[in-house]
Structure 1
Amino acid sequence: MPASDTVITDELAVEIARLGMVRESSDVATLHRLTQLAARAVTGCAGAAAMRWTLDEPPEPLASASSHPDLAELVDLQIEQGEGPIFDAVRDRRAVRCDDTLAETRWPGHVAAMLRRGVRCFTTTVHEYEQVLVTLTVYGVVPGALDPRQQALASLLLAQGGAAVSNTREFDDVHRTAVQLQQAVEARAVVDQAKGILMHALGCDADRAFAELRRISQTRHVKLTAIAQRIVSGQVSDAALRRRDGYE
């Protein structure tokens, strides 16, 4: 069944542009948005599945999402067996298409599973962007429904989806670093407070107070920040501090 040329409306253009923005908190959420948009935007597409892969050789799937549970089952079947059209596309870094699953002789087990779910054609597209490897598979329920002229739109969607996954990963890295820095600042503040308490209790300077904290941490195999927190929270009395015991 021939498909008409792709027409990108203003609304579709905005959605495609938004696809590349950091809005989601995980790869799966981003991939899910990609499949939903592909199912709506690509003419002849009845559903879609997207996957993120490692850059190892051979590549391994990291995350996946599908627009329909039946398609998720098809993806899981390939992942379980480690083979199939999606794996071939990733291995060769090229698109894999089938215009009629009823006449398809490759991947007989997977094609049979597709036929049982009403899939009569499909195309898998591959995109690699800044250490992110993603695939998008669009499925049709009529032979030849996915005209090759639709490949450009599928590739555009996949490129935007790949950028979104990359941006999400970078955002997560930056957020993780910020959290770690914040935790480090808070830990430093607690240690400084504990040092002040020890200086008062032991009548010593800051260097000796810190050395005492470190000694307690090493001898009792407890993190220095945990010891400092106990001192600051009042779990250790001044008398115990002067006796240099009772830290547990």
Structure 2
Amino acid sequence: MNTNAGGRSAVSADTALSLAELGRIALADTPLEQVLERVAVLARDTIPGADEVSVTLLVNERPRTAAFTGTLALELDERQYRNGFGPCMDAGRGGETLFIADMATETRWPDYTPGAAACGATSSLSVPLPVQEHIIGALNIYATTPDAFDERAGELGTLFAGYAGVAVANAHLYASTAELAEGMRAAMASRAVIEQAKGVLMAEHGCTAEQAFTQLTRMSQNANRKLREVAAAVVARTRRE
């Protein structure tokens, strides 16, 4: 039987076992953090190339790591929070899956990737959680080898991110507080303006949605501003013109 570098079973077998275990979690009776911790562990053990996994949640643009499998994942998350941007936050805000093949050559987040590489991370995969009623976020998958993630890893990441999103929605089903409601309004407004800015750049440069989003992230890093602020500036410029 094939195994990956960590000695885990073939992906198809791992996936079946992980899905079976996810299905046994009683969402209504299990605290959110406990569910997300289990999702993170199963994602780490199932996604080929993954060494550590975390889950970022954003409420009112305030990020926090709700679950993590090891200190490396937590340190990498917090480095992005201190900057106010990074692949995990940009994935959650923009609704785009973001791959970093090699921290040493990545140019989209120059204030983040050198420090991440110094910590021992070499590549990463950031998958947005499906938009829920009160909150947005991302599943963050880190590797200590370059080019660790392929399209299959992205598909599996989307699967686990979807389950984490269900857990978040369930946890907040009866907790529609004013703060959470305001957080969702802010999150949706942020994502909406990013989509508008992507449309502007696609029209101006004849590029794809993915290329437009990459251009936005580079503009964000070059200006040292949050992604939503850069997107709002692009939209405002177009309206003035």
TM norm structure 2:
0.62
Aligned match of 1:106: 108
Matched, 1:163 2:166: yes
Matched, 1:46 2:57: no
Q: Pick the aligned partner of 2:24 from 9, 18, 28.
A: 18
Per-residue deviation, 1:127: 2.0
AA of the residue aligned to 2:129: H
Aligned match of 2:88: 86
Q: Pick the aligned partner of 1:31 from 24, 28, 36.
A: 36
Give the conservation status (yes or no) of the 8 Å contact 1:21–1:167. yes
Counterpart-to-counterpart distance in 1, 2:33 and 2:24: 16
Aligned match of 1:74: 76
Per-residue deviation, 1:145: 1.4
* Moved beyond 3 Å, runs of 4+: 2-6
Aligned match of 2:145: 142
Counterpart-to-counterpart distance in 2, 1:133 and 1:62: 11
The total of aligned residue pairs comes to: 168
Give the conservation status (yes or no) of the 8 Å contact 1:90–1:135. yes
Counterpart-to-counterpart distance in 1, 2:115 and 2:105: 14
Deviates most, 60-69 or 133-142:
60-69
Instruction: Give the structure with higher Rg (CA).
Output: 1
AA of the residue aligned to 1:170: L
1:107-143 Cα shifts (integer Å, max 9, x gaps): 2231122112211110100022431423101111111
Q: 1:156 to 1:19 in 2, by over 3 A?
A: farther
Per-residue deviation, 1:24: 2.5
Give unpaired runs (5+ residues) of structure 2.
Answer: 177-241
Give unpaired runs (5+ residues) of structure 1.
Answer: 174-248
Counterpart-to-counterpart distance in 2, 1:158 and 1:167: 14
Give the conservation status (yes or no) of the 8 Å contact 2:93–2:136. no
Counterpart-to-counterpart distance in 1, 2:65 and 2:144: 25
1:80-124 Cα shifts (integer Å, max 9, x gaps): 221111222223221111111111122223112211221111010
Give the conservation status (yes or no) of the 8 Å contact 2:51–2:144. yes
1:46-79 Cα shifts (integer Å, max 9, x gaps): 011111223x5xx432553211112211111211
TM norm structure 1:
0.60
Per-residue deviation, 1:151: 1.1
Q: Pick the aligned partner of 1:97 from 88, 93, 99.
A: 99
Deviates most, 36-45 or 163-172:
163-172
Counterpart-to-counterpart distance in 2, 1:43 and 1:23: 30
SS in 2 for 1:52: strand
AA of the residue aligned to 2:110: P
Q: 1:108 to 1:70 in 2, by over 3 A?
A: same
Counterpart-to-counterpart distance in 2, 1:126 and 1:50: 10
Give the alignment's Cα RMSD to 1 decimal.
Answer: 2.6
**How high is the sequence identity, in percent, across the aligned residues?**
23
Counterpart-to-counterpart distance in 2, 1:19 and 1:144: 32
